[in-house]
């Protein structure tokens, strides 16, 4: 049996869409915790911003490098819109990183980023992911899922060192 067939039989199928949705929920949890922190707890805010940066940087990277190339075949307009939303997310994330955790602008910036991410997630989950599931075969989605899983783990590990 060729090596690639052995790999497929040995590795469990990973649902790409469920994996990305799980990452969405994790980001939502970080936002909720961040919004509930006090300006007096700067260390906690800084730690949560670090977690948010790692989660969003890794997630947007894997979507753009792994999922969206397949998505271009399915819906180029939604795919390109998602990339533009990622640019907005990166812009606001940078502004938050550059803002002191006790600055009056900190929580409003977190709120704006949360709203941009929420819009992006809602559109992805209600429209984009549904289209991908309907138009890509299960094997392709499973292959994408394995790649997303592996690359997300690798990317977050690297980001933890530099962020």
**C-alpha distances in Å from residue 159, one per residue of 22, 30, 41, 50, 120:** 19, 17, 24, 10, 23
Q: What is the residue whose two structure tokens read 């649902």? A: 15
97 and 53 in contact (C-beta within 8 Å)?
yes
Based on C-alpha coordinates, what's the Rg of the chain?
A: 17
- Domain annotation covers residue 9: no
State the residue range of the domain holding 74: 15-162
- Domain annotation covers residue 112: yes
Express each pLDDT in 21-42 by its tens digit: 999 999 999 999 999 998 889 9
Number of domains in the chain: 1
- Domain annotation covers residue 158: yes
- Domain annotation covers residue 8: no
CATH number where 108 lies:
1.20.120.520
The pLDDT score that the predictor gives to residue 115 is 98
- Domain annotation covers residue 10: no
pTM over 0.85: yes
């Amino acid at each position: 049996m060729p090596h690639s067939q052995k790999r497929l039989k040995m590795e469990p199928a990973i649902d790409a869409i469920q994996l990305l949705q799980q990452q969405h929920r994790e980001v939502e949890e970080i936002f909720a915790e961040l919004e509930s922190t006090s300006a007096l707890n700067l260390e906690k805010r800084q730690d949560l911003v670090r977690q948010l940066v790692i989660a969003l940087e890794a997630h947007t990277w894997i979507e753009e490098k792994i999922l969206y190339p397949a998505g271009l075949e399915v819906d180029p307009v939604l795919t390109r819109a998602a990339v533009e939303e990622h640019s907005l997310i990166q812009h606001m994330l940078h502004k938050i990183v550059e803002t002191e955790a006790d600055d009056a602008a900190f929580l409003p910036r977190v709120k704006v980023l949360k709203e941009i991410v929420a819009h992006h997630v809602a559109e992805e989950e209600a429209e984009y992911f549904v289209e991908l599931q309907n138009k890509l075969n299960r094997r392709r989605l499973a292959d994408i899922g394995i790649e997303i899983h592996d690359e997300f783990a690798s990317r977050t590990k690297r980001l933890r060192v530099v962020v």
